[in-house]
Amino acid sequence: MSEVWRLQTKTEVSKKNKLEDKVAKELIKRKIVAIGWTLREDIYNELTMSEKNKLEKNEKLIKNNFKEYKKIIEQETYETIKGEKKKFFNGKINNSLNNLKKLKENDLVWIRSKGKYYLGRITEKSHYLYAYRDSKKDSDILKLGINNQFTDVEWLEIGDESDIPGSISTSFIRGTALRRIKQKGSLEISQILYNRHIKKDHYPINKIENNIENFYSLLSPTECEDLLYFYLYDKYRYVAIPSTNKIETQNYEFVMLSPDNRDEKIYIQVKNGYSKKTDLYLENFYELDGIVYLLTTGGKIYDKENKIIKISFKDSGFQIIGSTEKNKKIYAINPEALYEFAKRAYKDETILMPQSILQWFEYLK
């Protein structure tokens, strides 16, 4: 079965050489997926000349043989100038390198560079290659940190963040250099996007099931914010103050105003996904001087005693779960209500909703 992965292209080596913006371009040009951990870094400069010569001889044995590379890392010991015995990378194969070796035909890999997202397919010709050489042709490989490679990858430019499902864009936030994207629907939507861009059904798949989990997996964090905004606008005609969504340190996304009382501030906070990072804590909102709306699509909301608040929305779009120090209400928003609202907006053009959200229903059945 195919899998979908994401690769961070700003390697530590490329950052040191101030070449991080060139890595993705080089991967696409060479048609490769690649990461660093070359044997010319780490303890290399600590080695005696004879040990360096020994290493260079061993290095020639690797080329298309990952087992030899692994053997050098895990078993070979080298003597340093100080007379110490050391192993490369403390004798451990990096998780990203293990993942690189797991790539197989028809797996898909996402990379991102300068706001653009690219999707690569592993082909039947793809194979492991340790690409460091003492030649001018490959001299930049070491500087870019792309010597451990998987070759013959077909790359496609997909678009910017508005063209990319949220489960893909958020996978780039942190984590190892190369890792599998496990969120539900990520593989299917990646295959759909690949088929669409080559204008051929390479992957024989149908649309993704139209349910709440798949819907939110397609939304980026900003699209989820937009969805709540248009829901509140539709229900109460609240409008956003554009300048309030530019402060990164705040514990709310932006401030809205009511047409009935322009002195009444409305704060919203949105978390999309299924992890502890999407949990919300009431204590972070007590000091706000207005009404608060909280939305987490897959997390929990905790009270001031750090206990999970039990929320029963029933048929309601929101529920009061607390109040601020100035006795302004704090509401929890029902993710199901927003999902149903978005479905109505997809069919009803009189409901205001950006195309960046509506587009995802084209892939849901």
Is the model's pLDDT at 5 over the cut of 70? Answer: yes
Residue 14's pLDDT is what?
Answer: 84
**Domain annotation covers residue 65:** no
Residue 112: inside a domain, yes or no? yes
129-183 pLDDT, tens digit per residue, is 998 765 555 668 888 989 999 999 999 999 999 899 999 998 998 889 999 999 8
Amino acid identity for residue 199 in this structure: K
Q: Are residues 135 and 221 in the same domain?
A: no
Work out the average pLDDT over 83-98.
93
Same domain, 127 and 175: yes
User: In this predicted structure, what is the pLDDT of residue 146?
Assistant: 92
Residues 247 and 321 placed together within one structural domain of the fold: yes
129 and 30 co-located in one domain: yes
Confirm whether 50 is domain-assigned: no
171 with 258, same domain: the answer is: no
Task: Give the mean model confidence (pLDDT) for residues 313-333.
Answer: 92
Clarify whether residues 178 and 227 are in a common domain: no
Read off the pTM: 0.86
Claim to verify: residue 140 and residue 15 sit in the same structural domain: yes
Shared-domain flag, residues 318 and 256: yes
Q: How many domains does the chain have?
A: 2
**Digit-coded pLDDT (tens) for 211-245:** 999 999 999 989 999 999 999 999 999 999 998 87
Residue 248 has pLDDT above 80, yes or no: no
Nearest to 212 by CA among 33, 61, 308, 336: 336
356 pLDDT band, cuts 50/70/90, is: very high
Please check whether residue 44 lies inside any domain of the structure.
no
126 in Cβ contact with 32 (< 8 Å) = no
Domain co-membership, 152 together with 301: no
166 within some domain: yes
Domain extent at residue 100: 4-37+94-198
Q: Taking a C-beta distance cutoff of 8 angstroms, is the pair 147, 131 a contact? A: yes
Query: Average pLDDT in the 288-312 region?
Result: 93
CATH number of the domain bearing residue 122:
3.10.590
Neighbours of 328 (CB within 10 A): 19
Quick one: 145 and 223 in the same domain?
Answer: no
Share of the chain above pLDDT 90, in %: 72
Q: Is residue 301 part of a domain?
A: yes
What pLDDT, on the 0 to 100 scale, is given for residue 349? 95
Token pair, residue 241, equals 């103050």
Same domain, 236 and 321: yes
* Radius of gyration, CA atoms only, the chain: 25
**How confident is the model over 1-8, as a mean pLDDT?**
95
